[in-house]
Amino acid sequence: MNKLITKYSKICLLVALVFSVTICEAQNKKVVDKSSKRTPEWVGGVEKGYLIVSAEAPNIEEAKGKILQNIKSQIAETVATRINSQTTLNTVQERTNNMFQLTESFNNFVKSKAVGTNYISEISLSKAVDYYWEKIKVKSTGEIIYQYHVKYIFMEADIKELVWAFEKYQKDLNGRLNACIEKLDNITRFEDIEKSMDELRAIQAELDADDTRFEKVDLIRNDYRKLYKQITIETVEKKKEYIVTQLRLQNNILLCSQVPKALSNCATKFEYDLREKSMKITFDDFNCYDDDENYVDVRYRVGSEYISKKIYIDL
């Protein structure tokens, strides 16, 4: 019995303390301006079909920015909840049919704990049906703060539309990722490797770190990097004052718009003739001698590295 009284006393003391702190904070703040004489009834409340969102900042513009971000976050959470709910139903149905593996799209939904805001980037405060703000002065410090409140319409139709938009967004991401995977075994241009790696970087930037596709992208990018190690420079023709080369990846001749850099221990005055599937490099061999190992080193740049081949000159 004494323990119950002691526990009850502690709770009462805590409530009294919180209440006292709240009163002190209220007394320390003074409303010096506001958007309307009366505070709307919806402020601080809940209303079906609407989002009631508040934010506090040193100025109105910053408060609006916070409000917009809060709206997007709430909408994203709502959409995520709806998608996860649909996923659960889908899982039950598939297990009934003895299919224990989720489809790719629904599996991605499960992995998303909170939906990103990429697909709701067009949301703006223009859809707000009402707003209210107060300019407040903190007496103890003289600080000015703005409390901004917005009543934002968000109906069931809006949720369905955003769920559809998210599903389409995820489907497009998967399509882009699959295109990079398929391209991996069908490279026909030297520049396609870097182009695909750029696309993979862009895809990864749109994924959460805990998304299973995030790690998958890293693996695919690594496979693309390995392709550079497999590219060889083949000598197609070699004469006294020129050489013709090709880039080859496994059994494919690679088209290439990059002009290589040629270096030599004796040849000078290099000129480059870029052809459809080859590169002709002409040079002056005046300083090359029969007794020396005369060569032209052909180099293609890959980031900070080179794919190169030393081709010996026949005099």
**pLDDT at position 86:** 65
Please give the model's pTM, rounded to 2 decimal places.
0.65
Q: Which residues contact 105 (CB under 8 A, 6 or more apart)?
A: 167, 170, 171, 174
Tell me the pLDDT of the chain (315 aa) as tens digits: 555 455 555 454 454 444 444 444 556 688 879 888 899 999 989 899 999 999 999 999 999 999 998 888 888 888 877 877 665 544 434 433 433 333 444 444 444 444 455 667 677 888 899 999 999 988 888 889 999 999 999 888 888 888 888 888 888 999 999 999 999 999 999 999 999 999 999 999 988 887 889 999 999 999 999 999 999 999 999 988 999 999 999 888 999 999 999 999 999 999 999 988 999 999 999 999 888 889 999 999 988 789 999 999 877
**pLDDT at position 210:** 79
**pLDDT at position 223:** 95
**pLDDT at position 6:** 56
**pLDDT at position 76:** 81
**pLDDT at position 119:** 63
**pLDDT at position 80:** 77
